[in-house]
A and B are shown apart, each in its own frame.
Chain A
Amino acid sequence: MLEIKGLAASIDGKPILRGIDLVVPSGEVHAIMGPNGSGKSTLSYVLAGREDYDVTAGSATFEGADLLAMEPEARAAAGVFLAFQAPVELPGVGNANFLRTALNAVRRARGEAELDAVQFLKLARAETKRLAMADDMLKRNVNVGFSGGEKKRNEVLQMAILRPRLAILDETDSGLDIDALKIVADGVNALRRPEFSALVITHHQRLLDRLVPDRVHILAGGRIVRTGGPDLARELEARGYAAVTADAA
């Protein structure tokens, strides 16, 4: 499903990714862990299509299509979703209007019928209820005045509504209490099916207790230095990055 080969990327001429090789097959959840500055967020932004990163080598294909050649909106339409580490505030844009515009843009691109306001609200209310979000979060401006936890929940709400085929979660668990963490994990678990996969970037084992990954990759210095099963995350927790990456070297 997602196949990354020799991917190198830099920002302002400074190399961040130095040759990433990674395959995430359909139906699998992979975790990426690594110290600060190892390139985890850069990888997620490059996959979602942020313009300020220069891809200097390598490729990323999604369902056989050249992901890196696509505009960000085309990637979303193809089923790629990035849950932002720092969700962006949109003053003057109502959350419901934002979600409906996004959903209908994606449905249009996929050749599906758009939802009218009534159909959309029914869907959105069901999802906010499932995510234990207050109803007024649909009425408020996108992420404006939201607490850190509310912003992360809003990312999960968008994911639930857009139903991506590949979800990239960039430290969605950071700053969350246990209840919110459960909601994020449940949100991803609810989407799990044979044609869905996820790339979960995290610092912590605690999200992976609820969202058990098929594979765990350790990113350091812009490369994946070790790959293993769910046990690798626990080993990291116990021994720290330095020891685990030293084994790999």
Chain B
Amino acid sequence: MTMPVPIGAAGFLARYDGLRGRLPGDAAVRDAAAEAFRALGLPGAAPGRREEAWKYTSLRPLADAPFQEPLSAADAGAAGLPQLAPARLVFLDGRYRPELSAPPRGIAVGSFAAEPGFGSLARPDRDPLVALNTMLAGDGARIDVPDGVDGGVLHIASLATAAAGRATAFHPRHSLRLGAGARLVLLETAGGDGRYLHNPVTEIVLGAGARLSHVRWQDDAAEAFHLATIYAELAERAAYEGFTLNLGARVTRTEFHARLAGPEAHAAMHAAQMLAGSQHADVTSVVRHDAPHGTSRQAVKSVLTGRARGVFQGRIEVARAAQKTDGYQMSQALLLSDQAEIDTKPELEIFADDVKCSHGATVGALDPEQMFYLRSRGVPEAEARSMLVHAFLAEALDAVAHEPTRAALDVAVSQWWDRVAA
């Protein structure tokens, strides 16, 4: 006789009960997170409960399956990972694999497993997936760029290895600190095989005048769930330049919490999502302006085919002290089928009186005038569609300044389109 395997939230809580006391780091933080997760549950999984932050995204499919601890083979390699930069940290099924990695020089790199520590930005008490991560996090990257140091380009690669018949879950906990005047280009890629939950939480602290370019390229497996939460806190004149490309996974949630704590800070959280079939991807952001002369920018472009659904929820909060704030959000969606859907929800909450905040949204199909213009010049219909879809996305990809990555993303976009158009 076998015991039924608990599924959904109960399954994660049962795993925590089994591992309790053997997980790295502060047990009190984990216990509190477990209590929060027990109370919050998986968004959308409990009937009759609706949370505003999860208005358009339900994790009901996640509640139906048992997720187990990954068992990645010891000899698993990192073949097939994109080669974007010489300095690379590789995570297999959420575990740091030093033998596959090439840590950068000049900056301190460690792992959460070796030096466990929860940062002060994450809010497990509010965000159910952050609670889940805090409860079960086993590993992650810890990166510290000292004051005034240019850390160059660092690639963090996450790869999920298929386990026959098992759905696995991993919850990486990354933390990143840039000292005053420090710089870094951080490239994050996620991919893999099989059915898994990839639930990373990243905490980013930028010192005065620090500058982080953060490119995220999500191409997780078709049956995967990618639920990422990124917290960033910016001191004066710090700049966060973020770009996320969501290509893979069955359900994706990319949640940003950026706080501009010092004057003249700048945060950009651009994204592009290209979704087909029954994929669902949600970009949700909360930008908090707490100091004057801050700027925030967010342009999200979605290309949707089949029955895919895209979501953009953007919230800008401007505190009373944050005069001369300049905030901008834009959601643009290209719907290539009758059944595709985009939901956009912008919110502004402004307590300062001298600010410039705006948001906008556009939704449309390919423009028939543009199609006819191209075809009248001899460009075949399929090629004309391809040109216009690429043109739509090119604007979003322009946010990526690192040339080799920009080139790799262009290829990824083309390959996606070739698959979809085929």
- Whether the pair B383, A72 counts as a contact (CB closer than 8 A) is no
Q: Determine whether A82 belongs to the interface, using a CB cutoff of 8 Å to chain B.
A: yes
- Interface residue from A51, A90, A102 paired with B378 (Cβ < 8 Å): A102
Known: A48-B376, A91-B391. 10 other contacts (CB 8 A): A51-B372, A72-B372, A75-B376, A87-B373, A88-B373, A90-B391, A92-B393, A93-B387, A101-B387, A102-B377
In the complex, 11 of the A-B residue pairs with CB atoms within 8 angstroms, ordered by the A residue number, are: A73-B384, A75-B376, A88-B370, A90-B374, A90-B388, A91-B391, A92-B390, A92-B394, A101-B383, A102-B379, A105-B380
Residues on B with C-beta less than 8 A from A236 are none
Residues on B with C-beta less than 8 A from A73 are 375-376, 378-381, 384
Given A84-B373, A92-B390, A93-B387, the answer on whether A105 and B379 have CB atoms closer than 8 Å is yes
Chain B nearest Cβ from A124, distance in angstroms: 14
When chains A and B are docked, how far (Å) is the Cα of A87 from the Cα of B230?
44
Chain B nearest Cβ from A95, distance in angstroms: 12
- In this complex, which of B369, B381, B395 has the most chain A Cβ atoms within 10 angstroms of its Cβ? B369
- Whether the pair A49, B390 counts as a contact (CB closer than 8 A) is no
Residues on A with C-beta less than 8 A from B18 are none
- Whether the pair A101, B375 counts as a contact (CB closer than 8 A) is no
Q: Determine whether B328 belongs to the interface, using a CB cutoff of 8 Å to chain A.
A: no
Q: Determine whether B368 belongs to the interface, using a CB cutoff of 8 Å to chain A.
A: yes
- Whether the pair A105, B378 counts as a contact (CB closer than 8 A) is yes
Q: Determine whether A77 belongs to the interface, using a CB cutoff of 8 Å to chain B.
A: yes
Residues on B with C-beta less than 8 A from A67 are none
- Whether the pair B376, A92 counts as a contact (CB closer than 8 A) is no
The bracket for how many chain A residues form the interface is: 20 to 34
Chain A nearest Cβ from B254, distance in angstroms: 23
Residues on B with C-beta less than 8 A from A81 are 376
- Interface residue from A52, A91, A92, A162 paired with B377 (Cβ < 8 Å): A162
Residues on A with C-beta less than 8 A from B374 are 90, 98, 102
- In this complex, which of B372, B374, B376, B392 has the most chain A Cβ atoms within 10 angstroms of its Cβ? B376
When chains A and B are docked, how far (Å) is the Cα of A162 from the Cα of B368?
22
- Whether the pair B378, A82 counts as a contact (CB closer than 8 A) is no
- In this complex, which of B370, B377, B387 has the most chain A Cβ atoms within 10 angstroms of its Cβ? B377
- Interface residue from A50, A92, A105, A158 paired with B392 (Cβ < 8 Å): A92
Total CB contacts across the A-B interface at under 8 A:
75
When chains A and B are docked, how far (Å) is the Cα of A49 from the Cα of B395?
30
Residues on B with C-beta less than 8 A from A103 are 378
Closest 6 CB pairs between A and B? Answer: A92-B391, A76-B378, A102-B377, A106-B378, A88-B373, A72-B375
- Whether the pair B375, A76 counts as a contact (CB closer than 8 A) is yes
- Whether the pair A105, B391 counts as a contact (CB closer than 8 A) is no
- Interface residue from A71, A90, A162 paired with B375 (Cβ < 8 Å): A71
The bracket for how many chain B residues form the interface is: 20 to 34
- Whether the pair A90, B373 counts as a contact (CB closer than 8 A) is yes
When chains A and B are docked, how far (Å) is the Cα of A103 from the Cα of B383?
13
A contact set with B: CB distance below 8 Å: 48-52, 71-73, 75-77, 81-82, 84, 87-88, 90-93, 98, 101-103, 105-106, 109, 158, 162
When chains A and B are docked, how far (Å) is the Cα of A51 from the Cα of B371?
11
- Interface residue from A49, A75, A90 paired with B370 (Cβ < 8 Å): A90
- In this complex, which of B381, B384, B391, B394 has the most chain A Cβ atoms within 10 angstroms of its Cβ? B391
Residues on B with C-beta less than 8 A from A84 are 373, 376
Chain B nearest Cβ from A10, distance in angstroms: 18
When chains A and B are docked, how far (Å) is the Cα of A227 from the Cα of B83?
68
Q: Mark B352-382, 1 if CB is under 8 A from A, else 0.
A: 0000000000000000111011111111110
When chains A and B are docked, how far (Å) is the Cα of A98 from the Cα of B375?
11
- Interface residue from B370, B376, B391, B392 paired with A72 (Cβ < 8 Å): B376
Residues on A with C-beta less than 8 A from B369 are 88
Closest to A78 in B: B378
When chains A and B are docked, how far (Å) is the Cα of A77 from the Cα of B390?
24
When chains A and B are docked, how far (Å) is the Cα of A173 from the Cα of B99?
69
Chain B nearest Cβ from A108, distance in angstroms: 9
Given A92-B390, A92-B392, the answer on whether A109 and B372 have CB atoms closer than 8 Å is no
Residues on A with C-beta less than 8 A from B395 are 91-92
- Whether the pair A77, B378 counts as a contact (CB closer than 8 A) is yes
When chains A and B are docked, how far (Å) is the Cα of A92 from the Cα of B366?
13
When chains A and B are docked, how far (Å) is the Cα of A71 from the Cα of B380?
9
When chains A and B are docked, how far (Å) is the Cα of A73 from the Cα of B387?
15
- Whether the pair B373, A49 counts as a contact (CB closer than 8 A) is no
Given A73-B381, A105-B380, the answer on whether A49 and B375 have CB atoms closer than 8 Å is yes
Chain B nearest Cβ from A141, distance in angstroms: 8
When chains A and B are docked, how far (Å) is the Cα of A44 from the Cα of B377?
14
Chain B nearest Cβ from A35, distance in angstroms: 25
Residues on A with C-beta less than 8 A from B387 are 90, 93, 98, 101
Given A91-B395, A92-B390, A93-B391, the answer on whether A82 and B375 have CB atoms closer than 8 Å is no
- Whether the pair B378, A162 counts as a contact (CB closer than 8 A) is yes
Residues on B with C-beta less than 8 A from A88 are 369-370, 372-373
Residues on A with C-beta less than 8 A from B368 are 51-52
Residues on A with C-beta less than 8 A from B392 are 92
Chain A nearest Cβ from B29, distance in angstroms: 47
Residues on B with C-beta less than 8 A from A106 are 377-378
Residues on B with C-beta less than 8 A from A92 are 390-395
When chains A and B are docked, how far (Å) is the Cα of A75 from the Cα of B375?
9
Chain B nearest Cβ from A189, distance in angstroms: 22
Residues on B with C-beta less than 8 A from A109 are 378
Q: Mark B20-54, 1 if CB is under 8 A from A, else 0.
A: 00000000000000000000000000000000000
When chains A and B are docked, how far (Å) is the Cα of A48 from the Cα of B373?
10
Closest to A143 in B: B373
- Whether the pair A76, B376 counts as a contact (CB closer than 8 A) is yes
- Whether the pair A101, B373 counts as a contact (CB closer than 8 A) is no
When chains A and B are docked, how far (Å) is the Cα of A26 from the Cα of B217?
56
Residues on B with C-beta less than 8 A from A48 are 376
